[in-house]
Amino acid sequence: MLVTGPAIRALASRGRGVVLLAGPQGAAAGAMLPGVDEVIQWRCPWIVADPPPVDTTSIDDLVAPLRARSISEAVVFTSFHQSALPTALVLQQAGIRTVTAISEDYPGSLLTTRVAPPGDVPEPERALATAEAAGFTLPPGDDGRLLIRADLLGGAVALGAAPFVVLHPGATAPSRTWPAHRWEEAVDVLVRRGVRTVVTGGPGETDLCARLARRGAIDLSGATSLVQLARVLRDATAVVVGNTGPAHLAAAVGTPVVSLFSPVVPAARWAPYGVPSVVLGDQDAPCRGSRARECPVPGHPCLTGVTAGDVVDALERLAPEALHEVAGPQTEGGIA
């Protein structure tokens, strides 16, 4: 959802209302994007990881609210491994006759404008290419970076003025992040160097984050909303994170990212976009392109081979001020 933000701003640039159709995992992020007037949430059976059955009731639950809004045009944004055609069929049933999307397959009358796949480009640029094919371009002065609404970033983060680095160890797909022992080693190295180290995570990641807190990190896991997490990431000097949502949230608030990136999807498409970043991980590992959620190779070598020293070296390049200003003992932090 976050990487689609520039394309959504292009749609909004015409001054017409934008209704965003999003799944349960993307709806909260969608509400944070500039240009979005309304979010409709729907568990799409051909997109979500735990798909519901495809039945008349589930389709009607979407068609009815779309018809009620008299929407004149739709642009379907998909990642490179998703088909837009089932969604286009539902939109046509809802009376939306102008539909644009990328499709390798023959769409028949499902699409008004069929966009050729743009190749191995970053996902934000793929989405922008789709919007441009529908006749929507970014307004003058918009550089196409990821953004969230500025009015959401006004709150303070009660972590004090000293620099800090954020480590976000979790991911919904275990294949896309470092093993736990490597995160522990990174905390050990950073804390020894006097770097204020903050760990973040969702409610299901508190046990892992608590392990890191016991080694001297400040633990904010389970304590932040998505907006509050954005504020924490905004104030960080740098973020260390796997290929997961907070990497793109950090990019959307302009913070440099050390990206622990397993090649189950291409870094060329999914690496942090528009901010200084260092991608670590063996991009030619045997799991390359597998889209595996669990690592298919014993020992998770593509990321286990990345050491805490490699991460510190990357931080030296991206945010040397965080490593060279000794912050003293770690202190408790909070959010506001």
Supply the pLDDT for residue 332: 56
Q: What is the pLDDT of residue 335?
A: 57
pLDDT tens digits for range 201-214:
999 999 999 999 99
pLDDT at 173 over 70: yes
240, pLDDT greater than 70: yes
Q: What pLDDT was estimated at residue 325?
A: 56
pLDDT grade for 269, boundaries at 50, 70 and 90 = very high
Give the homologous superfamily in CATH for domain 158-335: Glycogen Phosphorylase B; (3.40.50.2000)
| Domains 2-140 and 158-335 equal at CATH topology level | yes
Q: Which residue has the higher pLDDT, 57 or 30?
A: 30
Mean pLDDT calculated for residue range 143-166: 88
**In this model, does residue 236 exceed pLDDT 90?**
yes
Band the pLDDT of 323: cuts 50, 70, 90: confident
Q: Give strand ranges (E) for the chain.
A: 19-22, 38-41, 73-76, 98-102, 113-115, 157-158, 164-168, 196-199, 218-219, 238-242, 257-260, 277-280, 334-335
Q: Tell me what pLDDT residue 327 has.
A: 47
Question: What average pLDDT does this structure show over 8-13?
Answer: 97
Mean pLDDT across 307-314? 97
**What rounded mean pLDDT belongs to the chain?**
93
DSSP 200-228: ---GGGHHHHHHHHTTT-EE-TTS--HHH
Q: Which pLDDT score is estimated for 333?
A: 56
| Domain residue extents for the chain | 2-140, 158-335
- pLDDT (0 to 100) of residue 14: 87
d(CA 59, CA 93) in angstroms, rounded, equals 9
Question: Which pLDDT score, from 0 to 100, does residue 266 have?
Answer: 95
CB-count burial class (<10 Å; 0-12, 13-18, 19+) for 179 = middle
Residues 101, 277: Cα–Cα separation, whole Å:
30
* 0.85 exceeded by pTM: yes
Decide if pLDDT at 331 tops 80. Answer: no
Mean pLDDT of 173-181: 93
The answer, yes or no, to whether residue 336 has pLDDT greater than 70, is: no
Query: What's the pLDDT score for residue 161?
Result: 76
> At residue 329, does pLDDT exceed 80?
no
Q: Name the fold adopted by 2-140.
A: Rossmann fold (3.40.50)
For the segment 128-143, the average pLDDT, to the nearest whole number, is: 96
274: which 2 tokens? 């528009």
295-322 mean pLDDT: 93
Higher-scoring residue by pLDDT: 334, 64: 64
**CA–CA distances in Å: residue 96 to residues 75, 160, 167:** 10, 51, 44
pLDDT of residue 319: 87
